[in-house]
Amino acid sequence: MKKVVLAAIIAAASGVAFAGTMSEQTQGASSGTSNQTAASSTQTKTQMQAHVNQSKSDMNKLDTNKDQRISKEEAKSEPDLVGTWDVADVNADGSVDLTEFALFKAEKHLSASQAQQLGGHSSSANKTGNTN
């Protein structure tokens, strides 16, 4: 089950990136410039690095014993993480490392973006995708 969820998160993230890249390439080709595609690629890399940096920063706040892992006890101050612990702890080792935490944050961001696109508010979307 965890592999399916992880694959879905990666596929969703890849699909968003792929769709954006294809759209930008088509626009660049129709306008006759490749500068837009190169600029977009640089922007995407910058956004990805910013996500990784933010994930590291957020993880460091939760990782009170500084072992580079978040225990279930340390996660208590992040209710969304506790609520999805079995999904976030991809390898089921009882803790969440940086890679798992970054995936958790990316999925949370994608869910919020999807909720906004559907006219909802990310803060009111529950686990089933319904809004309160």
The number of residues in the chain equals: 132
For residue 109, the SS3 value is helix
What is the mean pLDDT for each group of 10 consecutive residues in the chain (132 residues)? 52 48 49 72 87 92 96 95 95 96 89 75 43 42
Predicted local confidence at residue 54, as pLDDT: 93
List phi, psi (to 5°) of 97.
-90, 180
The pLDDT of residue 116: 78
Helix (H), strand (E) at residue 21: helix 2-31
pLDDT at 125: 41
Which residues, listed in sequence order, are joined to residue 70 by a DSSP beta bridge? 96
Q: Which domains does the chain have, with CATH numbers?
A: 2-28+45-119 (1.10.238.10)
The contacts of residue 41 (CB under 8 Å, 6+ apart) are 21
pLDDT score for 31:
53
pLDDT at 132: 42
